[in-house]
Structure 1
Amino acid sequence: MFLDTITNYKKTVIENLKKAYSYQELERLALQREEVSLTKSFAEALSTPSLSLIAEVKKGSPSKGIIRHEFNHQQIAQDFEQHGASALSILTEEKFFFGNNQYLTEIQKIVTIPLLRKDFILDEIQILESKVIGADAILLIAAILNKKQISDYYSLAKSLKMDVLCEVHNQEELEMVLDTPCEIIGINNRDLKSFQVDINTTITLQRLIPKEKTIVCESGITTTEQLSKINQHNIHAVLIGEGLATNPDLLHFWTSYPI
C-alpha cells in the first residue's frame, strides 16, 4: 500500500532527525518557541459561527504530481489570508507531497492566522520539530497511529501550546479517536490506502461525532455546491488544497457565497 511506502520513508527521515538533534535539544528549542504569542489559536480560528476555511499551501501530490508549477508559497499564503481563510495548512512532507519545513517557517513570519503542519507524524520528536519550525497545530493520522500514540502525542502537543487535528477516514478510526482527548476531528474523504475520494464520507461519519467536537471536512472539495452540501450538516470547517490550486476562483466564491 502507498501509505506504507510513505510511512516507511518517514521512519528514515525520523532517524536522520534524531541523528541531527537530540530530543533534549529540540525540546529546549520548542520551549523557547512558546514565547511567540499568537493572535488566535487554531482551535479558536475554527470556532466561528460560519463554515471556516483551512486553505492548504500545496505544490503537488503523489496522485497528481506538481499541481502548482509557479509556486510562491508566501504569496499563496498571503492571498489565502486576504480572501478569508481562517487558518492555513502547510505541507512539509518533501518526497511525496513536495513540501518543506522552510515553507512553514517563512509563511509564519508574514501571516497572522494559525498554521497547521501537514505531515505524517510517527514520533514525538516530530512534534517538537513542529513547534520549532513555527506550527500552531499538528495533524495526527489515525490510519498510521494507535490509540495510545494519539493520546500521548496529543498531550505533548498541547503542553507545547499546539492544537491537534486528528484525522480519520472510517468508522473504526473514528471510534478509536473518540476514545482519546482529541477535540478537533478531521474526516478525510480520501481513502489513504486507495486514494479514492467520496465527499459523503464526511456526511456519514459526522453523525457519529458528539456536538462538542469540532469537525473538519478534508479532501475532494472543488465547488461551491459541495460547500453548500457540507454546510447543511454539523461541520465547522473545510480543509481545501487541490481544489484551491486547480480552481483559484473558489476563493472568490468563498467570500461571496452565503455559507
Structure 2
Amino acid sequence: MNILDKIIAYKRTEVEERKKQQPVKLLESSIYFSTLPVSMKKYICREDKTGIIAEFKRKSPSKGVINAHAPVERTTIGYLQAGASALSVLTDTPSFGGSTDDLMTARKFNFCPIIRKDFTIDEYQVIEAKSMGADAILLIAAVLDPQQSRKLADLAHSFGMEVLLEVHDEDELKQNLEAGADLIGVNNRNLKTFEVSIDISKKLAPMIPDSVVKVSESGISSADTIIELRKHGYRGFLMGENFMKHDHPEKAAMDFMDELRKKSI
C-alpha cells in the first residue's frame, strides 16, 4: 500500500466511528444547516481579492510537522486581512494534524468561503462538512471513481455548497469532466514521488472547461508564479505550506500578497 492507500483505509474506519458518535440527525441540528453558504467561485473571481485560498495546515505526510503552534483564530483572520479570497482548513488528524474544531473556529471568526479539506469518500462527510459551517468541500479524483465524485458533488450542491475537484493528471481530469465540480484544482505534486512542478497546471489548463474556476495547488512560493499561472487562465491558488512554515503565517501571507499586488499593477 502507498501512503494514499493507507490514508483512505484509515479514513473508512474513522468515518464509521464518527457515524456512531455523531449520527446524521445530530449533525442536521447544527445552526449551519439553515445558513446559506458563501460562494467560493465568486470570491476567487473578485477583482479586489488575490485569488489565494490560504490554508491552515499543521503538518503533511511529505513534510512532517510544519507548524504545530499557530492559533486558528489569529492565523485565519490574518489571512483574510492580507487579502486571501478564501480559507482552506484541514480536518484530517492523522496525516495533517487538523480537526473539525479547527474549521468551526475559523467559521466562528470569519465571513468568507471556507473549504473543508479532507479525504471525502462518504456522503456522511458531506453532511458533516455542512454541519460545521463549510461552504465547499474537496473531492480528490485519485481516491474516487467518477460516479462517486458525481454523487458526492450532487449531495454537496443540495446543501448549497460548492465542490473543488482535485486532479493530478490528464486521465483524472478527462474522467471527471461530468462530475459537476464548480472548481477544478490541479495539484502540482506528484502523488507517487511527491515532486512538485507547476508544469502540470500549465499542461492541463486548456483542457479545463471555462464554466469552472481553475485552481492551481501546491508548489506556489512566489508572486511571479501566480502571475505566470494567471496567463494560463487560473484564478485560484491554494497555498498553505509557504505561509504555515513561518512562526506567524498571517504575516508571511501579508508580505506575499503585498508583493503580488505590487507586481500585478
Please indicate the TM-score interval, normalised by the length of the shorter structure. Answer: over 0.9
Match of 2:45 among 31, 44, 47: 47
| Match of residue 192 from structure 1 | 191
Any idea what SS the aligned residue of 2:243 has?
Answer: helix
Q: Normalising by structure 2, report the TM-score.
A: 0.91
Cα separation, 1, equivalents of 2:132 and 2:60? 22
- In the TM superposition, what is the alpha-carbon distance from 1:51 to its structure 2 partner? 5.1
| Match of residue 206 from structure 2 | 207
Letter in 2 for 1:68: N
Check whether the contact 1:53–1:239 (CA below 8 A) recurs between aligned residues.
Answer: yes
Any idea what SS the aligned residue of 2:97 has?
Answer: coil
- The 5 Å alignment of 1:1-259 reads 1-26=2-27, 28-29=28-29, 33-38=32-37, 40-49=38-47, 52-246=51-245, 248=252, 249-258=255-264
Cα separation, 1, equivalents of 2:192 and 2:119? 14
Cα separation, 1, equivalents of 2:112 and 2:175? 30
Cα separation, 2, equivalents of 1:64 and 1:72? 20
Structure 2 unmatched ranges of 5 or more: 247-251
- In the TM superposition, what is the alpha-carbon distance from 1:125 to its structure 2 partner? 0.3
Same amino acid, percent of matched pairs = 36
Over residues 220-245 of structure 1, what are the superposed CA-to-partner deviations in whole Å (9 max), with x where a residue is unaligned?
00111211211211111100011122
Cα separation, 2, equivalents of 1:239 and 1:115? 12
Structure 1 unmatched ranges of 5 or more: none
CA spacing shift, 1:200–1:257, aligned 2, 3 Å: same
- In the TM superposition, what is the alpha-carbon distance from 1:215 to its structure 2 partner? 0.5
Cα separation, 1, equivalents of 2:232 and 2:119? 29
Letter in 2 for 1:251: M
- In the TM superposition, what is the alpha-carbon distance from 1:37 to its structure 2 partner? 4.2
Check whether the contact 2:50–2:83 (CA below 8 A) recurs between aligned residues.
Answer: no
Q: Normalising by structure 1, report the TM-score.
A: 0.93
- In the TM superposition, what is the alpha-carbon distance from 1:24 to its structure 2 partner? 4.1
- In the TM superposition, what is the alpha-carbon distance from 1:164 to its structure 2 partner? 0.5
Cα separation, 2, equivalents of 1:203 and 1:21? 42
Check whether the contact 1:244–1:251 (CA below 8 A) recurs between aligned residues.
Answer: no
Greater alpha carbon shift after TM alignment, 82-91 vs 181-190: 181-190
Letter in 1 for 2:224: E
Over residues 195-242 of structure 1, what are the superposed CA-to-partner deviations in whole Å (9 max), with x where a residue is unaligned?
221111101001111222211000000111211211211111100011
Check whether the contact 2:50–2:257 (CA below 8 A) recurs between aligned residues.
Answer: no
CA-based RMSD of the aligned residues comes to 1.7
Check whether the contact 1:62–1:97 (CA below 8 A) recurs between aligned residues.
Answer: yes
CA spacing shift, 1:257–1:246, aligned 2, 3 Å: farther
Cα separation, 2, equivalents of 1:95 and 1:41? 29
Check whether the contact 2:52–2:239 (CA below 8 A) recurs between aligned residues.
Answer: yes
Check whether the contact 2:150–2:180 (CA below 8 A) recurs between aligned residues.
Answer: yes
Cα separation, 1, equivalents of 2:9 and 2:199? 30
Check whether the contact 1:216–1:238 (CA below 8 A) recurs between aligned residues.
Answer: yes
The aligned length equals 256
Greater alpha carbon shift after TM alignment, 224-233 vs 212-221: 224-233
Greater alpha carbon shift after TM alignment, 45-54 vs 191-200: 45-54
